Amino acid sequence: MVLNNASDTFDIGGEMTVHRLGFGAMRITGENIIGEPDDVANAKKVLHESIARGVDLIDTADSYGPAVSERLIGEALAPYPDDLVVATKGGLLRNMAGEWKPNGDPDYLRNALLSSLDRLRVDTIDLYQLHRPDPHTPFEDSVHALAEMKDDGLIRHVGLSNVSVDQLETARDIVEIATVQNRYNVGDRDFEAVLDACEDANIGFIPWFPLGAGDFEAKENDVSAVATKHDATPQQVALAWLLQKSEVMLPIPGTSSVSHLRDNIAASHLTLDEEDMTRLGE
């Protein structure tokens, strides 16, 4: 039986209501996140299936492809359903050598945003996130650029990614921050303090790498045991744990497979008991 998204909801920026289990669109690109996917029609089918199964938060970035993920989303889904939130990111370059290079220069960010608007076929980005602080550009300058574009009506809500608690607080002094997207999963909790700060301020926390590529490090055996107990996959347990861990948590597992997408969405129907949460949370 194919299940629909049963996760509860969160109001991004206090107004954009989404189911807390979203979809990350990095994997609809080519190998190594570069170029076109081998099967463009299948990539678009995955996007359509996500919407059909009740996903109303899709996260992408201009560096995925680069530009490929945004363009495919625009081609497949625009004009978008009224309840769909499409989030993207700027400020991180992807080159053919597979390197990720931050660029937080304000002029670059303004140009990147205009390009994202064109590819996504919108006049305003629902949620635009600084992909990574640039060590060669003052962090405040990058955030001010996003704040100005929000004032111009090009961005509805501003988000951050890969930031510390101090950087989050610095940014909040400049503009309202709706979300933070940092690496986090059941086996990797280096940014627990950032999650705590988001909970305190009711800021959405988007954990990237939510499935740890199937590697849950020291929690591997615990995840497997809980999965066996519930007749679920370890990946489903990992997603269920994230959803129950915090009310501001917005996991965005990505895939290029319809069947894997359905498996991920089924995790929203899995309820872990107190014993499970304690075991996984230790």
User: What positions carry a catalytic annotation?
Assistant: 64
Cα gap 249→8, rounded to integer Å? 11
Cα gap 110→108, rounded to integer Å? 5
> Which amino acid belongs to residue 227?
A
For tokens 């319809």, the residue is: 258
For tokens 């574009």, the residue is: 149
Q: Are strands 125-130 and 155-161 parallel, antiparallel or unpaired?
A: parallel
Cα gap 146→135, rounded to integer Å? 17
Provide the 3-class DSSP secondary structure of residue 87. Answer: strand
Question: How does DSSP classify residue 254?
Answer: B
